[in-house]
Structure 1
């Protein structure tokens, strides 16, 4: 496993899909993961440190874990199966105050790569990527696309995002998938039962 940091969030102009870029520490390589529009917005707001009035789904999950004395410790992206990144969220579960004698329990929870990345961004957790995934998907930094007008438009999209736009984006994404999909055949983030 090698540690990675979130080094960018941009739009793939060819497939009209958001991408999160993970830079592999101490290398000149990065891994790109295509994610959904909702996840991109949430991650963008998190990276920009935008404070929202009400908790989002990932905030709720973090609050529930805290209520049950569970502390996320790291995220690993461990494999790529049928073009889908598989990840795990590692959690240390402590006993409740009345259960002082109980030893902490370490848990591994299966999760989507995007959800793990968002939780890691919110809690400043380390992200690790397996050597196998790096070998199969990493690209040299020199060939990564530079910031373009498309990237700037995507940044502006995140800044001006609202619920109506979210609804429109989700309906378009659903229609695209029903018509055969506009996402690339490899490196999709979300599990799709029809792909198996």
Structure 2
């Protein structure tokens, strides 16, 4: 799994629908997830440093979880099926952890309020992410090709003799 951060909200130029953009720690990959307007507002509100005058729905849920000594441990976006992302919230109470099915947009809005990590399964990243730093990707590919071109069969035999 790869930890992602919310980079912001964008608007799809064609459909005019909001998109939450997640980025990995190295700013190498971005994961766009199309969401609804209400969820976009909930995410933008969580990113805004000034608190809302009255609790929004996601604030209310976090407040209820706090009142019952429950903590949002993490969010995991675990799959992509038919252009739909699926996520779970990991909720902890004492030593007990339960996973609850959630829409990624709601899970992200809650993660921001709970200050917990957002994880994405590598297969989802592979399938749906877009490259952010193509120059770094190409440099990594060149370095790997160079590494492979300098390998000899004897290099593998040396590792076996040393007990590796």
TM-score for both structures, normalised by structure 1 = 0.65
Runs of 4+ in 1 over 2 A off after TM superposition: none
What is the CA deviation profile of residues 39-97 of structure 1, one whole-angstrom value per residue up to 9, with x for unaligned ones? 11111121122321211111111111112111111000000112110001001113xxx
Secondary structure of the residue aligned to 2:44 is helix
What is the CA deviation profile of residues 155-188 of structure 1, one whole-angstrom value per residue up to 9, with x for unaligned ones? xxxxxxxxxxxxxxxxxxxxxxxxxxxxxxxxxx
Matched, 1:120 2:91: no
In structure 2, distance between residues paired with 1:3 and 1:11: 23
- Partner of 1:83 in structure 2? 83
- Partner of 1:66 in structure 2? 66
In structure 2, distance between residues paired with 1:106 and 1:82: 29
Secondary structure of the residue aligned to 2:52 is coil
Secondary structure of the residue aligned to 1:14 is coil
In structure 2, distance between residues paired with 1:123 and 1:92: 12
Structure 1, unpaired ranges of 5+: 95-103, 144-196
Note if contact 2:62-2:113 (Cα within 8 Å) is conserved in structure 1.
no
Structure 2, unpaired ranges of 5+: 135-164
- Partner of 2:126 in structure 1? 135
Matched, 1:21 2:16: no
Matched, 1:5 2:2: no
Secondary structure of the residue aligned to 1:66 is helix
Choose between structure 1 and 2 for higher RCO, CA contacts under 8 A separated by at least 6 residues: 1
Secondary structure of the residue aligned to 2:64 is helix
Aligned residues: 134
In structure 1, distance between residues paired with 2:48 and 2:16: 22
In structure 2, distance between residues paired with 1:116 and 1:125: 10
C-alpha RMSD of the superposition: 1.3
What is the CA deviation profile of residues 129-170 of structure 1, one whole-angstrom value per residue up to 9, with x for unaligned ones? 001100100111148xxxxxxxxxxxxxxxxxxxxxxxxxxx
* Greater gyration radius: 2
In structure 1, distance between residues paired with 2:92 and 2:23: 26
